Every structure is written in structure tokens, then in C-alpha cells.
Structure 1
Amino acid sequence: MVTRAFLKRLKADAAAVAMTEFALAAPLMLTVGLYGLEMANYAVTHLQISQAAMHVADNASRIGDTSTLVDRKIYEADINDLLYGVDLQAGDGIDLLEYGRVIVSSLEVDPDDSTGVQQYIHWQRCKGKKNFVSSYGVEGDGKGDPSFVGMGPAGEEVIAMEGEAVIFVEVSYTYQPIVTDAFISDREITVFSSFNVRDSRDISQIYQADPTSPDTPADCGSFTSYKPAPTLPPSNSGGWNWNWFNGGAGG
């Protein structure tokens, strides 16, 4: 039983007062510290996702074989290498293609348009497990559609010049908290980046390096990453008979 005399002694004990104050303040200070840690990690992750989008757009504008005689061709293998590379660059800490999606589009002028200004998405390649589609159009959009004026936010659309191409990249990622998602109201990070194709490129199509053994395109209809599916241990591993309901437990 707590008596009045005990409370008086507790009040006079400086160590007890300090301990009580610490006990009251610790939860608040811990919460503030964890909040700061989570927000700092979110900011760093957002920066890394932005850099990943820029990395893909920049490199996609440069890829292709090298020739001084014909326009540079690009291959499905080039795009696959590019998508695999950005996953490696982002690192295991982010695991970009497990929790996000990268969409690469080639924005061009419709070759069938007599005005030479109609924009359309010639091709689009995607990778990542996140269920996300482009916010600015899919492959084929703009073909014969004057309402399609480019890719990007309304009023700030990126456009391509006739005979050229613009690589437009979107990256969407679901932030993975290190403490709790209670501190982040919106965990979705979506960024975009675009670069003009650097060299004279053959924009007629994406080629196969070896037509007899074609590389699989990064089709936007599939939602996969490059990581193999985990191998599950055998059902009878660990020294336990998992068929106990048929014959009893084992050791």
C-alpha cells in the first residue's frame, strides 16, 4: 500500500524524481527520434528513385550498336540489360523491381501524320512486380489521335521532333518503412525523367541481336522482376515428419 510517508520520501529523493521524469519523457523522445529516422530514410529513398529514373532515361537514350554507315539500332537485349542494371544500381535495400515498376517509352512523331507533329508512343517496355501502368499513355497511344499531345503532366508535356525520339521513363515504387508505416501517410513514390536520343538512331523498330534465338521483350503485360522465385525447403526438412496426421510425429 502506498502511504503518504512513502510519497514524501519519494518526492525528496532526487534520483527517484529524475527516474520518473525520464520514464514520462522517454516514450515521446523515442517517438520523435523514430519519426525523424523514418522521414530521413524516406527522403533518401525518394532521391534514389529519382536517380534511378534519370539513370534509365539517360542510358536508354544512348544504347545501341555503333556504326558510322547506318543509323544506330537498338535491341531487346539492350533494354533488358538496362532494366537489370537499374535494379542492381538501386540495391537490395530498395529492391526496386520487387516493390516497384520501371516503364520505358519511346515518344516519337507519327510517321503516318502528314503534319509531322502528331505525337505517339511507338514502343513501351516495363519491368517490376508492382501493379502500375503508365500515367501518360501506353504503347500505340497517339496514333491518329490529335488529343494526345505528348507525355508528362498536363500543360508540361514532353514532345519529340520529327525523325527523332524522346525516351520517357516512369518509376513507381511503394516505400518500405524501416520502423512503421504509421509515420508515412502516402507510401507511393512516382517519378519520371526524359532524355532526347543522343545519336542518329534507327527508330523503325527494336531489333533482335540473334533472330534465331530471340531475347524475351520486357512486356508491359507481365509483372515480374529478375529475381528467381525462392526455393522452399523440402516438406520433411528439419527432422520433423510433416505427415504426422497420417502416421504420427517424427523426430
Structure 2
Amino acid sequence: MSTREDLIADAFVELADCLVDDFEVTDLLHRLIDHALRLLDADAAGIMLADATGTLQVVASNSHAVEALELFELQADAGPCVDCFRTGEPVTPADLATVRAWWPTFAPAVEAAGFSSAQAVPMRLRSEVIGALNIFRKGEGALVGGDLKLARALADVATVALIADRTMAARQVLADQLQQALNSRVLLEQAKGMLAQRAGVGVDEAFTLMRGHARRSGHGLREVAAAVVAGRGVLPT
């Protein structure tokens, strides 16, 4: 059985691979979420990135419920990701009472989704903040000490991979990557719905099926989603 140290090492190796290899943005973002869930005692996670106008957009999450919660956070203009993006610093309320005090509009949605903790760490390269990683827990407790450092490090590595200067200015790379992520999110939602209806499963399970197929086949998640849509809701063989 892998130790936590092994899992941490694997996480950084996997994320760092995106610095040198061609990668699919959607896969990178969901890998970051997977590692956050595995290493940070998180029950759910999501990612928001800023578009070319500086407006936050939901680009990835581990479930449909979390995506809805993050969209509500943007609509309410209140919550950990929003504050984290504005300040460039982690937002880690210690308990549910603090969540309620800081975000009275957002807190009821957090509780209705079954969470008692909502936190965020910035996705930042030096002084440039491009978004935030949202962490939700069913139990109370802030990310502190080594866990907070780990969360920031995971987000930092993913950020570097997103905006590493390749053949054009980093800002243009970021704009292109974000547009790709947004386009992929629309495609993924369509594929999840079609596969769920065809297979008679929930949309979250349909997403799990697509991710599993992508990893087994060595194809990108966006590529698998496109094949599901083209195949009218059937996983590619």
C-alpha cells in the first residue's frame, strides 16, 4: 500500500509532467482535483479560473453538485474562491460559524450541499493570480500547517503548467488554455448527460466511467467526451 509520502510524490510527478509534455487542460485540472481529494482530507473540490476580462469562471469540479455550488458562489459574488482570487491569499475559515459570518448568502448553500467547511487556495504564479482551488469538507476545520502548504504547492505546480511560456506570451497562453477548458466543460456536460441517459446511471457516475475509460485507453478526457457525443451516448471501444 502506498504511503502518504508516496502519494504526494506521485502527485507532483504527475502534475510536473505537464511542464514538459503536451497536455490536455481538462485532464490537468481534474488531476489537480483528484490529488486534492486524496491528500487534503477533502470531500469535494472545484477550480475557478479567470477569463481574459478577469472574470472568474467555473472550469472543473468533482461532481455536478459542487459545480452548482461554485456557480452559486459566483452568482452571489461571495465565497472562498471569490475572496481568494481577489486577495491572492488562502481563505481558510476555521469552522461553520465563520463560514456563516463571512458569507451569509453563500453559507446556506454550503450547508444544503452537506458541507461544514469551504476553503480556497490561490492558483498563482508570482504576483499573477489566475484563479483558485476550492476545497469542501463535511467536517469543520481549516487547512493549516503542512496541509495548507501542500494545497498551495499543488495549485502552484498546476498554475505553472497552465501558463508556462512556450511559443507566445504567457498571458495569451492563459487565455487560450482557459478557453479550451471552458469549451471542454460544455462538451463534458453534454457527454455526461448523454452517457447517463443511455447507460441508466447518474451524471456523476457517467463522468467516472468516462474518466476511467480515458485513463485505460490513454486518451484525453475531452477526446473521450467528443467520442461519446459522436456515438450518441456510447463509450468508444
Q: Which has the higher helix share?
A: 2
Normalised to the residue count of structure 2, the TM-score between the two structures is 0.33
Which has the higher relative contact order, 1 or 2, with Cα contacts under 8 A spaced 6 or more apart? 1
Normalised to the residue count of structure 1, the TM-score between the two structures is 0.32
